[in-house]
Amino acid sequence: MSETEARAEEILEPDLAIIDPHHHLWDLRPLLPMFPEPRHRFIEALVPHSYYTFDHFHAHATSGHKVIASVFMECGAFYNPALGEAFGPVGEVEFVNGVAAQAASGLYGEVRWCAGIVGHADLTRGAAAGEVLDALKAAAPARFRGIRHQGAWDKDPEVLGPPFHAPEGLYRDATFREGFAELGKRNMSFDAWILEPQIPDVIDLARAFPDVPICLDHCGTPLGCASYEGRLEERFDIWAANIRELARCDNVMVKLGGLAMHNCAMPNEGPAAGLGSEELARMWRPYVETCIEAFGPRRAMFESNYPVDYWGASYPVLWNAFKRITGGASADEKADLYAGNAARFYDIEEVLR
């Protein structure tokens, strides 16, 4: 099925309200020359969308499904060098807050784009990270909710490519945790992006800070690329056991998505592989259903992870696939999974009114 044909799929359950709790806005074009040829597959997956503005996201997200609001997720874009290295991420929040203000004007319809904003602060600065958290909040006092400090690492550098690897064991590092404690002092949330073998690190972090709300991004990022190629089935039980253990931490929620990233190899070919929602639902169902069974329908939320998940699915087909997976869920469960849980976690419940 071509991308054009995939976009022509009939929208399933078009009246089901959706809050997309995980998308990016960026301009990566100035950074592309930093990556030598041949580029790592992860970089190649992003090249077609190296310029992804509010207009691009608006066009994708208004293509049929009833998206009523969104949450922006940090992505290292629009940092302000004039503020210095530590405070540079404030520039990203300032930029996104402006986009949110545009959306709130009503000029682009009733959708509340970027109603919540998740930024970045370097928690390896220890307690000094608190100053950055305060500056981020001041940059978007009505919308800033918390940060993501990605901890993705693997002994195989080809899984992500060297520029994207965090230090090994970052979430267990004492100085990182000193910075993490500053989130709890400010009632801020934390988004955790790691790779599947690192889920135990999130478990340990969540147990150490039971009062800090944590969201595990992308179902914990199951791996099917590089040295993990062809090993999804082999590692499924390991992944599932870790997911169930993490779900025992009451302060953790999980995002259902990210499975169309090239890292997961579901599908293995992209970008915009053009697969239909039935085939994608078949691949993703074991992961999504395991997460929902472990966390329950009140602690899970569907996400687009756009434009990264454009690798495997157009926006309409992505949400159709999710809706196929939850076809047997009750109306209340769907209301939570597609909007309510995101609204509660990111404190944007006003968008539901």
Question: Does residue 269 surpass a pLDDT of 90?
Answer: no
Considering only residues 162 and 61, tell me which one the structure prediction assigns the higher pLDDT: 61
Question: Does residue 3 surpass a pLDDT of 60?
Answer: no
Q: Work out the pLDDT band at 230, boundaries 50, 70, 90.
A: very high
Q: Which two tokens stand for residue 199?
A: 């889920």
Question: How high is the mean pLDDT of the chain?
Answer: 94
DSSP, residue by residue, 223-247: --SGGGTT-HHHHHHHHHHHHHHHH
pLDDT in tens, 302-344: 999 999 999 899 999 999 999 999 999 999 999 999 999 999 9
Question: Does residue 5 surpass a pLDDT of 60?
Answer: no
Classify each residue of 31-66 as buried b or exposed e, where b means 16 or more C-beta atoms within 10 Å of its C-beta: eeeebeeeebbbbbbbeebeebebeebbebbeebbb
**What per-residue confidence (pLDDT) applies to 49?**
84
Averaged pLDDT for residues 103-107: 94
Averaged pLDDT for residues 84-111: 96
SS3 73: strand
Question: Does residue 173 surpass a pLDDT of 80?
Answer: yes
The lowest-confidence range among 79-93, 153-167, 195-209 is 153-167
Could you check whether the bond before residue 89 is cis, i.e. omega within 30 degrees of 0?
Answer: no
**What per-residue confidence (pLDDT) applies to 162?**
64
Question: Does residue 1 surpass a pLDDT of 70?
Answer: no
Q: Which two tokens stand for residue 38?
A: 């041949």
Question: Does residue 57 surpass a pLDDT of 90?
Answer: yes
Averaged pLDDT for residues 39-61: 85
**What per-residue confidence (pLDDT) applies to 163?**
65
Considering only residues 46 and 261, tell me which one the structure prediction assigns the higher pLDDT: 261
**What per-residue confidence (pLDDT) applies to 31?**
78
**What per-residue confidence (pLDDT) applies to 211?**
98
Question: Does residue 270 surpass a pLDDT of 80?
Answer: no
Residue 116 bridge partners (DSSP): 71
The lowest-confidence range among 104-113, 205-214, 294-303 is 104-113
CATH code for the structural domain at 3-8+15-352: 3.20.20.140
Question: Does residue 4 surpass a pLDDT of 50?
Answer: no
The share of the chain scoring above pLDDT 90, in percent, equals 86
Averaged pLDDT for residues 142-152: 98
Q: Which two tokens stand for residue 181?
A: 């404690």
Question: Does residue 60 surpass a pLDDT of 60?
Answer: yes
**What per-residue confidence (pLDDT) applies to 2?**
38
SS3 72: strand
